[in-house]
Structure 1
Amino acid sequence: MNSLVTFEMDGDLALIGLARPPVNALGQPLRAAILEAAERAAADPAVKAIVLHGSSGLFSAGADISEFGSEASFAAPDLPGLLLRLTRLDKPLVAAIGKLALGGGLELALACGYRIGEPGTRVGLPEINLGLLPGAGGTQRLPRLIGAQAALDMMLSGAPVNAQKALDIGILDRLAPSAESLLDEARAYARELVAGQAQARPAVPFPEPAKGLPEDFLARFRQDNEPRWKSRLAPRLLLSAVEAACLLPLEEGLAREVALFKEAEASRQSAALRHVFFAEREAGKVPGIDASTQLRTIAKVAVIGAGTMGGGIAMNFANAGIPVTLLERQGDALDRGLAQIRHNYGISVKRGKLSEAQLEQRMALLTGTLDYADLADVDLVIEAVFEKMEIKQAVFRELDRACKPGAILASNTSSLDVDQIAAVTSRPQDVIGLHFFSPANVMRLLEVVRGKATAPDVLATTLKMGRTIGKMPVVSGVCFGFIGNRMLEPYAREAHRLVLEGATPAQVDGVLTGLDLNMGVFSMLDLAGVDVNFLVRDANRAAIAHDESYCRLGDELYALGRFGQKTGRGFYAYEGRNRQDDYEVVALAERLAGELHVPRRPIGDQEIHDRCLFMLINEGIQLLDEGIALRAGDIDLVWLNGYGFPSHLGGPMHYAETLGLDKVLAGIRHYQKALGDYGQMWFTPAPLLERLVAAGKTRIEPF
């Protein structure tokens, strides 16, 4: 028997165990092995029923994602064909679902006539997260099992459901009392089916999946969700597949599903989302650290500063069950900070995401202090004070005195030089940057800034810690703004300059949100704070002093006290969160353009797209060339998780590859000439971009 499956006879039962560690991914070799085992069981008259299980306990986490987009995806036996054959076996087939049945793994279980799980079982169809839809019967068999509406909700969310929910809605027929007893219970279930002369496949509960729903349910569902889907293709294709389940016989629906799956698989959006999937797995691979690197223990954490950022950072650790000490200079500031954390948790309680008991458990992990001496036993301390070098250095001098040897000293700086901060301590090897994004308890990105002296075990420990608290950690070298904010600078610069030249903030933002970015430059600056952006820019003023027009509009708004949403005025006017165009800003731009001798003209949407995005991309390529970013995929993860770049575009680096690197370079060179002195000053192609294009390369990588 093939080594990828186990085959065991137990009386009149055939036990087929999936044995492709770690997660029984259903690549072509495993598919072939399952088919061979199933045919052997089918041909043996001594076999009365079959139990399919994971030989190591875990059933299957789904397809082999590396096959998507290649010929291997549908290499014989393809998954749809394999599962169709399983449904035609004339013997009861029981799926014993241990731990996980996701994607193709759940489709495999749905092809079995009977399903049993255990308390830790989770099942789901997460293909939507890769820009795909279930392509091996999931969109046809699940609606017939649990109804069209429940199936749609499950497939569009991509979220797995737990064992009890799966039992309640009809995906599971039974639950074993424990993971250890699952296989024994599956055997007993199979023997019960044999004794009762059960059909190989029972009748489905919903032969007409849309029965009982309003006649216009699917049309209304599409209409209601189109705005939320924006330009995403996969949800629309998935809905079409479920429509097929409601309107066509099973075999015709299965054929329609395969055609829709292939359309999704061939799309740029799915290629982008698969790029993101693999980029996330690559991000943890860092030169100088590996599995043998000894990690430091992080059992107790401190956060310096109990403001919005410090409180949000502290919540991450409390959520993970790690005790946190919050330090403030003044008692009233500390009290406000702790009260705000309780308020934030209270919102989660009201939304049903947290119980009162969980709120109290998390608050019990938080303590406050005004004395650095109380940080003597912490393993990690994160500074989250005002973004000024002298203030941060003063804090680190205190930490150097107060913290025990081996404690990791981290700065939450968003742009300052981590090496300068480390230099005021006697232990620069223990210093690292941990740039959380606001709101810190919500945003997934964590920029991990490796200083020139940062020890490998400090880097490895903080990367693991980041994943422990649910973040996406990405390593950056030291430079102004690191990866994200350094790229934000030219992106925001062009947005500001375009408004001086004749565009409006709404037009610029509209082009960007038209690409499905969560928000445009000016909406983002108003949300983050025009004042915050000014202070970051002001810290880098020496680098931009040669261009008086650089973000002058933002400087003027700062001087006017128009700090964005929090003051009701910024680049837009606000009533609550309702944003309105503000013609005072347009008038201000006109005046500044006159003072700065900037010609005004109508600006086209394509120019806005190219100038903002090409400058963003160009800076990312430069970061890669300098070694600040390790990989183009790391840059994409920063912008996807920290700045609202749409996942189905894959991030700015992947988007550049999709557009064509030659097109990006040609666009930059065009504006270098077309914009006169301004173009000569700012539109300099990254040397790496020029080298890549000259060599005919289509991927962004060091070269």
Structure 2
Amino acid sequence: MAAINQVVDLSKDGEIAVVTVNSPPVNALSADVRDGLAGAFAAIAADSAVKAAVLACAGRTFIAGADISEFGKPPRGASLPAVQDAMESAPVPVIAAIHGTALGGGLEVALCAHYRVSDAKAKFGLPEVKLGLLPGAGGTQRLPRIVGAKKATEMVTSGAQMGAKDALATGLVDEVVDGDLTAGAIAFARRVVAEGRPLKKVRDDASKLGGDAASLAPFFAEFRAKNAKAFKGFEAPEANIKCIEAAVALPFDEGLKVERTEFMKLMTGLQSAAQRHVFFAERAAAKIDGLPADVQPLPVKKVGVIGAGTMGGGISMNFLSVGIPVTIVEMKEEALTRGVGIIRKNYQNSADKGRFPQSEVEARMGRLTPSLNLEDLADCDLIIEAVFENMAIKKDIFGKLDKIAKPGAILASNTSYLDVDEIASATNRPEYVLGMHYFSPANVMRLLEVVRGAKTDPQVLATAMAIGKATGKIAVVAGVCHGFIGNRMLARRQQQANLLMLEGAAPADIDRVLTDFGFPMGPFQMSDLAGLDIGWNAETSKGETVRDRLCEAGLRGQKNGKGFYVYDEQRNRTPNPEALAIIDAYAAEKGINRRTIDDQEILERCLFPMVNEGARILAEGKAQRASDIDIVWINGYGWPVYRGGPMFWAEKDVGRDRIIAVLEQMGEEESPVLKDGWK
């Protein structure tokens, strides 16, 4: 075997050349890989003894995609189009041998081979849309020529992957190999040579597009309409559709020009920069500052959950779904039965939708042990408390757990706001106590705030982060403060929304401004959904706030069809005149001069104090990095991913100078970090 460079080797099996990429961990198309491939195919073209070539990859995957760490940097090494052209124009058949994942640039390279074989577990896709991009190396032009324009449109706008079985059915691969993939690919190559098969170029065959521009126009119109809600705010899906339309309407080289133009628009735009920021930020969030390199997570083989309500049930499902047994404890039989029934119903709904077989419902429920006794948690490795947000109740529970739980067991609170250190003080093991703040519904929402107490042991922190990852969550470390990262910032937004409402902005207008920005719902829609009476007590209410008066008037939100909005049977909403009258009367009583407030003021007053609070959180060391704050808000509160999170948006889109100026107009004291910038 001859090394072309440090990551690409060229060898021969008789008359068959074998090009092997070995660039761990995922064989990304770095400059070194591109240079190696260019050198290998140049050598193959110059060797008359070679009758066919196989492109394979070492390790766990075929070329998984582009090296996105190179994005935005000066070009280096052989270009990807040059490598693709060397393959496509090779004088001998080139067979791509695919295992693992052929994604993005990896699939675009494979589409330049004359034939493709894979193992049975291989996955294929063009996920660039998830980074605010489109396939920029011919993917939007070649893929529809092999799987059809309709299937290609679905794939490039969703980033969805195709399995080997479907790839064989569509013609994306020519054979699925049993046994050793490289050996099977070499055998396939010998058959191609023996049978004198042609050098098939995907680019030259338009027969599988599925129609011409006129016949496919209704499909594209219907596809846009069907996905309008999902694509709202995002630029990349529409650019991808335009490129597939070009593949249908134009010759290949002309379609490539459209692809290049659309790619560069996205690549140089703010949305793709934001989505790439989020990609790296998710990975950075898993890193814990100040943790010794040799710290290993503790084993978690059994979990206890206290509380079988909405949160406790959802938290339990996270563990049951990945094979970890759970003992769930409630005080009353009725609440326990109801909670277990909801867990079963949720799993049954998933099975009915075909997400997993019926047997999996029983397997997951079989891991659940319901109990009315805290003592049954004695053998658990991790116990998560998910009861009412009351410090006295939580301290009482943790005091009891301290006596029940085995030595070394981790005690976690699902508190949303409360002081984890005070909770830990109720135990004799504060080093084993921390917060694990899940977001509702806990079995669906991706975010987990892991709250590090003053005495939390590094190994305990590492365990909570690892268990978050194992259960499919994006875990972010937060420090102890009221509301931690997300809710602390949310409180500032809610404060300004309420002030704006009293000063003259209608709740529906405030909601509209924030949903137009990209949030799934506004603050008053959110209040109605949660229930205006959460935490409100009729016996102690004195009408001191608008919320008090709404509740006193019987306005509870969606639960009874009347809140800031009135809801019909389909949950369609219209502004509630009764609520507006209560707001007007309250403002008049308080002597507030109501005025017309424009959309820009609404947006800036809701979001700029949030950014300022994020800067304070950084200054106090309650978040490890600005990008962690972005991840919290994207995954826990619906901040639009194409805006990159509040801290990215503040620095890259709005500019810190503008935020500081508006905060000063508002009479807000800006954080020093807001002035000096952040990492």
TM-score range, shorter chain: over 0.9
1:208 CA drift (Å): 5.8
How far the C-alpha of 1:206 sits from its partner, in A, is 4.3
Q: Please, which moves more after superposition, 631-640 or 63-72?
A: 63-72
C-alpha deviation, 1:113, in angstroms: 1.2
Structure 2 residue aligned with 1:490: 492
Give 1:214 shift: 4.4
**Corresponding residue of 1:121:** 122
What is the rounded CA distance, in whole Å, between the counterparts of 1:292 and 1:528 in structure 2?
Answer: 43
How far apart are the structure 1 equivalents of 2:565 and 2:82?
A: 56
* C-alpha distance in structure 2 between counterparts of 1:403 and 1:416, whole Å: 22
Q: Counterpart of 1:190 in structure 2: which amino acid?
A: A
Q: Quickly say closer, same or farther: Cα 1:438–1:457, change in 2 above 3 A.
A: same
Contact 1:129 1:273 in 2 (8 A): yes
Q: Contact between 1:31 and 1:82, CA under 8 Å: does it hold in 2?
A: yes
**1:303 Cα shift?**
0.4
2:156 is aligned to: 155
Cα distance in 1 between the residues matched to 2:305 and 2:509: 41
Q: Deviation of residue 290 (structure 1)?
A: 4.9
Distance in 2 between residues matched to 1:616 and 1:419, nearest whole Å? 25
Give the structure 2 partner of residue 401 of structure 1.
403
Deviations 1:165-211 (A, max 9, x none): 22222222111224xx1111011011111111111226666436241
Give the Cα separation in 2 of the matches to 1:617 and 1:182: 52
- Corresponding residue for 2:184? 185
Residue 514 of structure 2 aligns to a residue whose secondary structure is helix
The one-letter amino acid of 1:147's match is G
Match of 2:333 in 1: 331
The residue aligned with 1:618 is: 612
Contact 1:636 1:652 (C-alpha < 8 Å) held by counterparts? yes
| 1:306 partner SS | coil
CA-CA distance at 1:376 after TM superposition: 1.1
Q: In structure 2, what is the equivalent of residue 679 of structure 1?
A: none
Corresponding residue SS for 1:140: helix
Mark the CA change 1:605 to 1:533 in structure 2 (over 3 Å): closer, same or farther. farther
For the residue of structure 2 that corresponds to 1:566, the secondary structure is coil
Offset, 1:586: 1.3
Q: Does 1:105 align with 2:117?
A: no
1:195 aligns with 2:194: yes
Shift of 1:137: 1.0
Alignment partner, residue 575 of structure 2: 581
Q: State the one-letter code of the partner of 2:181.
A: L
Alpha carbons 2:146, 2:208 under 8 Å: kept: no
Deviates most, 13-22 or 349-358: 349-358
Residue-by-residue CA offset, 1:597-637 (whole Å, 9 max, x unaligned): 21100110010011001011111111111111111100000
Does the CA-based 8 Å contact 1:51-1:190 persist in structure 2? yes
* Alignment of structure 1 residues 264-279 onto 2, 5 Å: 264-279=266-281
TM-score, length-scaled by structure 1:
0.92
Pick the aligned partner of 1:665 from 644, 660, 669. Answer: 660
Q: Is the 8 A contact 2:295 2:459 kept in 1?
A: yes
Deviation at 1:473, TM superposition (A): 0.3
Match of 2:603 among 609, 614, 625: 609
Q: CA deviation at 1:150?
A: 0.4
Q: Cα offset for 1:76?
A: 4.8
State the 1:495 CA deviation. 0.7
SS of the equivalent of 2:595 reads: coil
Report the equivalent of 1:695.
Answer: none
Measure, in 2, the Cα distance between the counterparts of 1:352 and 1:42.
49
| 555 and 66 in structure 1: CA distance in 2 versus 1, 3 angstrom threshold | farther
**Structure 2 residue aligned with 1:53, among 53, 56, 59?**
56
1:478 Cα offset (Å): 0.3
- Show the 5 A alignment for 1:165-176: 165-176=166-177
Could you tell me which of 405, 414, 417 is aligned with 2:416? Answer: 414
Deviations 1:108-160 (A, max 9, x none): 11111111111221111110000000011110000000100001111111122
Q: Structure 2: 5+ residue runs without aligned partners?
A: none
Q: Quote the residue 1:687 is aligned against.
A: 672
Are the equivalent residues in 1 in contact too, given 2:656–2:675 (CA < 8 A)? Answer: no
- Structure 1 match to 2:7: 4
CA displacement at 1:270 relative to structure 2: 0.1
Moved more, 565-574 or 312-321: 565-574
Any residues of structure 2 matched to 1:619-658 within 5 Å, and which? 619-657=613-651, 658=653
Name the SS of the counterpart of 1:410 in structure 2. strand
What CA distance in whole angstroms lies between the structure 2 residues aligned with 1:97 and 1:374?
Answer: 50
Kindly report which structure 2 residues correspond to 1:447-458, keeping only aligned pairs within 5 A, or say none: 447-458=449-460
CA distance in structure 1 between the aligned counterparts of 2:502 and 2:53, rounded to whole angstroms: 72
Cα distance in 2 between the residues matched to 1:325 and 1:531 = 31
Which residue pairs with 1:570 in the alignment?
563
Deviation at 1:231, TM superposition (A): 2.2
Listed as ranges, the matches of 1:149-298 within 5 Å are: 149-178=150-179, 181-201=180-200, 206-207=206-207, 209-211=209-211, 214-298=216-300
**SS of the residue 1:71 aligns to:** coil
Distance 1:346 1:460, change over 3 A: same
Q: Which residue of 1 aligns with 2:146?
A: 145
Distance 1:205 1:413 in 2: 59
Deviation at 1:506, TM superposition (A): 0.8
Q: Aligned AA for 1:136?
A: A
Shift of 1:418: 0.5
What is the CA distance between 1:654 and its match in structure 2? 0.6
Match of 1:545 in 2: none
Could you state the TM-score of these two structures normalised by the residue count of structure 2? 0.95
Q: Which amino acid in structure 2 is aligned with residue 141 of structure 1?
A: R
For the residue of structure 2 that corresponds to 1:531, the secondary structure is: coil
Letter in 2 for 1:582: N
Query: How far is 1:296 from its partner?
Result: 0.6
In structure 2, distance between residues paired with 1:80 and 1:609? 44
- 1:504 equivalent in structure 2: 506
What residue in structure 2 maps to residue 678 of structure 1? none
Equivalent-residue separation in structure 2 for 1:533 and 1:609 (angstroms): 28
1:557 aligns with 2:550: yes
Q: 1:227 to 1:365 in 2, by over 3 A?
A: closer
Moved more, 158-167 or 388-397: 158-167
Taking the aligned partners of 2:536 and 2:270, their CA distance within structure 1 comes to 37
For the residue of structure 2 that corresponds to 1:216, the secondary structure is helix
2:17 aligned with 1:14, yes or no? yes
Where does residue 88 of structure 1 map in the other structure? 89
Change (3 A) 1:531 1:630: farther
Q: Tell me the SS of whatever aligns to 2:5.
A: coil
Q: Report the equivalent of 2:384.
A: 382
Q: Which moved more, 1:211-220 or 1:129-138?
A: 211-220
Sequence identity (%):
48
How far 1:589 moved relative to its partner?
1.1
Alpha carbons 1:146, 1:206 under 8 Å: kept: no
Q: Is the 8 A contact 1:553 1:589 kept in 2?
A: yes
Separation of aligned partners in 2, 1:275 and 1:556: 44
Q: In the alignment, what sits opposite 2:26?
A: 23
Aligned amino acid, residue 676 of structure 2 = R
User: Is the CA contact 2:380–2:406 (under 8 Å) kept in the aligned structure 1?
Assistant: yes
User: How many residues of Structure 1 are paired with residues of Structure 2 in the alignment?
Assistant: 668
1:77 deviates by 2.3
Query: Shift of the alpha carbon at 1:29?
Result: 2.0
Instruction: Give secondary structure in 1 for the equivalent of 2:143.
Output: helix
Secondary structure of the 1:95 match is: strand
Q: Is the 8 A contact 1:80 1:135 kept in 2?
A: no
Q: What is the one-letter code of the residue matched to 2:59?
A: S
Give 5+ residue unaligned stretches, structure 1: 539-547, 673-682, 693-699
| Partner Cα separation in structure 2 for residue 57 and residue 481 of structure 1 | 42
RMSD: 1.8
Q: CA deviation at 1:590?
A: 0.8
Contact 2:446 2:635 (C-alpha < 8 Å) held by counterparts: yes
After superposition, residues 456-471 of structure 1 pair within 5 angstroms as: 456-471=458-473
1:556 CA drift (Å): 3.1
